[in-house]
Amino acid sequence: MPSRRFPNSRLTVSRACFPYSRGFAAAFVSWKTPVIFFTVLLVLTLPRFTPAYSPPATVSFQDIYESSRSAVVNIQGDKVDETEGAWEPGRGAKMYKGMGTGIIIDPRGYIVTNHHVIAEIRKIQVSTLDKKTYTAVLIAKDLETDLALIKITPETPLSVIKIGRASSVRVCDPVLAIGNPYGYDYTGTCGTVSGLGRDVEVDETLVYRNAIQLDVSINPGNSGGPLINAAGEMIGINVAIRQGAVGTAFAMPVDQVVAVAAKLIGEHTAKSIWHGLVVGRLDREFSDESNPTEGLLVLDVEPESPADLAGIEPMDVLLSINESPVASELDFQRAFIGLKSKSELSLDVVREEGGDADGQKKQRHFVFSLANPGYNVAKSNGMGRSRTSLAPGSTLNRADASGKIASQQGNDPVWETLGFQATPLTKEEFQRRYATFLPLYPGGVVVKSLKADSPFMTAGVRVGDVIVGMHTWSIVSQKNLVFMSEQWPDFAHQGSIRIWLLRGNKHFFQDIPVK
């Protein structure tokens, strides 16, 4: 049998042995060196390697579709055709069938959709997965974002969409859209995220800000439907397609949808109850392990409101309402649906007890009754005590009203006292970059430079951060900053001052030392 000697080796191997499956050792014909034999023996006796990591199984969008579609509804109704020539003599205006999609955000029948889906519909008809049809009523609308809140009255609780976070979305992520294109109900189409942060101008009155670009097949009737990620979470609401372009569609980020939906529900419930709480997302970058991971930050408590009289304080962290966890503004506003004046409210909060030597936070429980909103109106007309609002979004412009603003040429009191320079964002720029936070903050200033030894830099503030509030005031202009620099020495007795920041898509606060 012919044999072959490997170069630079004393090992002789039979060529005929390679086709056979009698084991690796069968290939060896002769051994000339003990060292080579020991090496081969060691390799042959090593245990089989088992990888510690196994790649995840392929995502099944079929399963996600099946589990998500029960939280999606089809919307249709007759609309007036306003195109030229649509008027018929003796019959009036021509009608056509409008259609779209909606998303269930509360089991009691509250649905969010695009406003253009239900605009001008004389009778909004909503059908659910079980083929039941309901007549919906318009609860509230937000024309600036093209969102609307409608409601049906189901016999049993409805399935609610699982909500994700816009910060989790990345380009090339796989996504699923569910909708009602051309009346073909519960159509599911898959694709990928093509881009982020797009501004889409529909017409002179409507611009979708910070939209998600998709290559998903979106058609008329998909508007108002959910965009869902591989975890089965809604990350956006499908809003538009680019006319004449193939594979280019857009969705509104879920954070903006949730914020506006929460605002609309709040406007609805405020007609019948008053609690006095103003809350915001608890998104702390500078935090410790004692902070709760889920909850809402109490930004303000209106003077003499039910919450104020019960003892709730700004900077409390709200964990639950009537034993239901509140992890978002939407959770907070949904907790008040169906409640009336004198309804009892049970709240669990975490409060930082200033007197504790160890600085621990303690959980506290409060119970109080909601008030009639008319009581709040009477107070706003001067029948009640006054207290400074903590919420930066309250637009209290103390700086402009102080009468102490210095306009000194060649002298920057902000740089000298606070140790940084900042430029105000225009309303349009703030809306474009931070549309998600508009329900909470009216504007802000972007940090351009920092002194190396300033308390702001020491505390972790960075160039590019947007300051939206300090202490109890909104910060939207240079005048606001000048005012704060003048007031700075007055805060020395309390040791620090709290500021609110936006960094990317995060919202958090930080305490700045004052000496």
Q: Where are the beta strands (DSSP E) in 89-173?
A: 92-93, 95-106, 110-114, 124-127, 133-142, 147-151
Q: How far apart are alpha carbons 229 and 235 in whole angstroms?
A: 7
Q: Give the residue among 19, 17, 42 at the shortest CA–CA distance from 30.
A: 17
Sole residue written with tokens 């600036």: 144
Q: How far apart are alpha carbons 155 and 130 in whole angstroms?
A: 12
Q: Where are the beta strands (DSSP E) in 17-170?
A: 28-30, 72-80, 87-88, 92-93, 95-106, 110-114, 124-127, 133-142, 147-151
Helical segments of 370-422, H only: 373-380, 398-401, 413
Task: Just list the catalytic residues.
Answer: 116, 146, 223
Contact 513, 495 (CB under 8 A): yes
CB within 8 Å of 389: residues ≥ 6 apart: 278, 300, 396, 472
Q: What is the torsion angle, in degrees rounded to the nearest 10, for the CA atoms of residue 403, residue 408, residue 414 and residue 416?
A: -130
Edge-to-edge order in the sheet of strand 3-5:
3-5, 12-14, 28-30
Element (H, E) at 320: strand 317-321
Sign for the pseudo-dihedral over CA of 376, 379, 380, 386: negative
Residue 329, amino acid: E
Contact 316, 298 (CB under 8 A): yes
Give the rounded distance of the alpha carbon of 317 from its chain centre: 18
Strand partners, 281: 296
Q: Would you give the DSSP letter of residue 436? A: G
How many other C-beta atoms are found inside a 10 Å radius of the C-beta of residue 343?
Answer: 15
Contact 414, 481 (CB under 8 A): yes
Residue 57, amino acid: A
Contact 30, 12 (CB under 8 A): yes
DSSP structure string for 245-267? -SS-EEEEEHHHHHHHHHHHHHH
Question: In this structure, what token pair is assigned to residue 230?
Answer: 């591989």
Q: Give the residue among 448, 509, 477, 437 at the shortest CA–CA distance from 210.
A: 437
Report in angstroms the alpha-carbon separations of 93 from 84, 87, 89, 119, 121: 11, 4, 9, 16, 14
Integer Rg of the chain from CA: 31
Contact 328, 258 (CB under 8 A): yes
CB within 8 Å of 432: residues ≥ 6 apart: 199, 209, 210
